Amino acid sequence: MVLPMAAAALALVDRARYPIDEPSSEAFAAVVAEARRSLAEVGYAELPGFITQEGVTALSSEAEELAGRAFASGGVGTAYLELPDEVAFDEAHPRRHWMPYSVSVVSYDLHPLDSGLRAVYESDELLGLLEAILERGPLFRYADPFGALNLAVMGDGDELQWHFDQTDFVVSLAVRDADVGGDFEVAPKTRSADEENYEHVASILGGDDTDVVHVEMTPGTLLVFEGRNSLHRVSPIEGPTSRLVSLLAFDTEPDRVGSELLRAIRYGRTEPFATPPVTWPL
Ligand SMILES: O=C(O)CCC(=O)C(=O)O
Ligand SMILES: [Fe+2]
């Protein structure tokens, strides 16, 4: 039986622990309070076991198949995910600091319509939980047809350089762990909307890890963090098992999209498929 998408998402979530469909329950309020406390304290919130064991098994076999559609990119990038203005900034400026990266990504438009990962992303109950936790008014799924939902596939030698995201919030859902490495490292609240804190950014890019937190990516855990203002990276991966992480992007603006440059680099295309190719053989 094919479940409607909303039911499919709810079936994957451990609702005894995270009753996302009962927002007026005490348990929901307790989850929200704990996540808010963690966000205020360390700049991110972890919801361990958000997806049930069976759910993780289902999502990981889906992700493994989907990984065949990933676009591989690599080279050097900056923390700002854009080309630096070489006139305005001198060579030592963090905007001109290049770092190696290598990552493969399956874009939103390549997730089939009946995908469980898509169902979780498109769940209104999840959106409601995030709105309650983040307290930023209404949240919107990122309007970018590529970046809204990504499956990051990272194998031996892959890494993602220190960067700020182009969307306000990315919620990551670890689906499968690498053998070694693949930690998510974050310097919470590195900058704010009105303060770039270039010196602080420069020291982190230079290797100072005083303010860097290592977050182990445990399959089934939902991780909520502020990627636009918190510098973060994925440490190099070693070993034959690829790290599979679903990245769910949300924004406080309803129509924000990523840059053409980022699309071209990360997804190898700038035009999305109008309809997800659900009938494609994986
Ligand atoms: O894979 C992750 O855990 C994070 C990836 C990330 O930061 C990004 O795609 O912007
Ligand atoms: Fe990111």
Q: Where are the domains of the chain?
A: 5-266
* Residue 8 · residue 117 · CB < 8 Å: no
> In the chain, what percentage of residues exceed pLDDT 70?
96
- Exposure string over 36-69, b if 16+ CB within 10 A, otherwise e: eebbeeebbbbbebbbbeebbebbbebbbebbeb
Each residue of 14-41: pLDDT tens digit? 999 999 999 999 999 999 999 999 998 8
**pTM, to two decimals:** 0.90
What's the 144 CA to ligand 1 centre distance in angstroms? 16
pLDDT grade for 281, boundaries at 50, 70 and 90: very low
So what's the pLDDT on residue 275? 62
Closest CA to 237 of 178, 169, 190, 167: 178
Is 35 strand, coil or helix? Answer: helix
Is the pLDDT score of 93 beyond 50?
yes
- Which residues are found with C-beta within 5 Å of the ion, ligand 2? 165, 227
What's the 117 CA to ligand 1 centre distance in angstroms? 16
CATH code: domain 5-266 is 2.60.120.620
So what's the pLDDT on residue 261? 86
Ligand 1 site residues, Cβ closer than 6 angstroms? 152, 160, 165, 172, 184, 232, 234, 245, 247
